[in-house]
Structure 1
Amino acid sequence: MHFKIFWVFFKVGMLGYGGGPSSIPLVHKEVVDTHKWMTDEAFQDALAIGNVLPGPIATKLGGYIGYLQKGWMGLANAVFATILPTIILMIILLKLFTEFKDLEWVQGMSNGVMPVVGVMLAILTYEFLAKAKARTTWQFIILFTLIAFLLLVVLEIHPAIIILVIVVFSLFRKEGRI
């Protein structure tokens, strides 16, 4: 099991070029679809809590999922596996990139990554929206989106504060206090 945990998060670290947003769909695919370590709902909860906390999302998800599977050793294994490829690749790629940065194909390759990440995020968003629709109504989803937009863009409230309020509200709602 420790090797599986290491391999899953090592791959996420290797293939998650572009940071957290690009690694989230990879983690989801591995832990929910491939290995069935979590349900979609549990992953969404872990992702929501992980987004409230500071730091890279891949290591937070890796640590949490590793802990669920094999305790503290699983946590350490998953976090190490997540950051090891980055350490190795950054040393190698920075050296290569500085040597070849002016070549047209290198610039084109760098520009080609963004649309791929955008499509991966769009697919994950669609899947989460479909799951949310099963639990609520379109009116609530639209109202929630408009309120979030107002708070984030118009009132410029930090996303972490909004997420924290939603988490607290959800906890009180589950306990029947609201």
Structure 2
Amino acid sequence: MAEQAIPRQYAQLAWSMGKTGILGYGGGPSVIPLIRYEAVNKYRWMDDDEFGEILAIANALPGPIATKMAAYLGFRQRGVLGSILAIVAHILPSCVAVIALLTFVDFLSSSPAVQGMIAAVMPVISVMLGLMAYEFAKKAYQGLGKMMAVVFCAVSFVLLQLIAVHPAIVIVLFLAYGAVHFRIAAKLSKKKPEGADPL
């Protein structure tokens, strides 16, 4: 049974990462909900909490986020070979498609049919990103509390949109706070009188 399970895990990795490479239209962020479905919902390789942690780390590291997530999932399941398989399965469909369509780029870029396809798929991507944002906001609310979640959302908006701080710097700052959050919360809860709302 164990010998049969190993090829099956490789097949699952190749199939799931291949699907995300084919269907993940719109760049790295649009692929994350697809990867989450495969890893958390379908094959149950991890739970939502671990996926959120890995996504945060992947965001803080340089390079394409979807490829980093594929590499981690492959490594988690079957080590280095699984990581290589997951990466190849994820990027191969895009590479083949680009090579096959390279000679038709000029035609495709001006084709009304292609422009219509792009316009039609945009609402789908928006909804997928919105659902993912909602899930992570809910996790933040559960982990930080209502007040801190709202404050952190406001601070991140100011840093990213108004001050235009590099996203990697913002992520590192929030990771640094997250590392000591529960210690700070414990100290603040001790200072509050009994019966007061927790952080």
2:57 equivalent to 1:49: yes
Partners of 1:35 and 1:50 lie apart in 2 by: 21
Q: Name 1:170's counterpart in structure 2.
A: 178
Q: Distance in 2 between matches of 1:148 and 1:52?
A: 15
1:117 and 2:125 correspond: yes
Aligned sequence identity (%) = 40
Aligned residue for 2:163? 155
Distance in 1, Cα, partners of 2:91 & 2:181: 37
Root-mean-square deviation over aligned CA pairs? 1.8
Distance in 2 (CA, whole Å) between partners of 1:113 and 1:133 is 31
**SS of the residue 1:37 aligns to:** coil
CA contact (8 A) 1:25 1:124 kept: yes
User: Following TM superposition, by how much is the alpha carbon of 1:97 offset from its aligned partner in structure 2, in angstroms?
Assistant: 4.3
For 2:38, the equivalent position in structure 1 comes to 30
1:11 corresponds to 2:30 = no
Segments of structure 2 that go 5 or more residues without pairing to the other structure are 1-8, 186-199
| Letter of the structure 1 residue corresponding to residue 42 of structure 2 | T
Task: Tell me if structure 2 keeps the 8 A contact 1:21–1:117.
Answer: no
Query: TM-score when scaled to structure 1?
Result: 0.91
The aligned residue for residue 135 of structure 1 is 143
Once the two structures are TM-superposed, the CA of residue 124 in structure 1 deviates from its matched residue by 1.0
**Offset from partner CA, 1:124-143 (integer Å, 9 cap, x none):** 11122222222232211111
Match of 1:170, as an amino acid? G
Change (3 A) 1:75 1:145: same
- State the structure with more CA Rg: 2
* Aligned partner of 1:71 among 79, 83, 92: 79
Partner of 1:62: 70
Unaligned runs of 5+ residues in structure 1 are: none
Q: With CA pairs under 8 Å and 6+ residues apart, which has the higher RCO, 1 or 2?
A: 1
Partner of 2:6: none
The separation in 1 between residues aligned to 2:153 and 2:143, in whole angstroms, is 16
Within 1, Cα distance between the matches of 2:88 and 2:113?
33
SS of 1:157's equivalent in the other structure is coil
Are the aligned partners of 1:5 and 1:77 in contact in 2 as well (CA < 8 Å)?
A: yes
Moved more, 99-108 or 82-91: 99-108
TM-score by length of 2: 0.82
Aligned pairs, how many? 177
- How far off is 1:101 after superposition? 3.7
2:153 matched residue in structure 1: 145
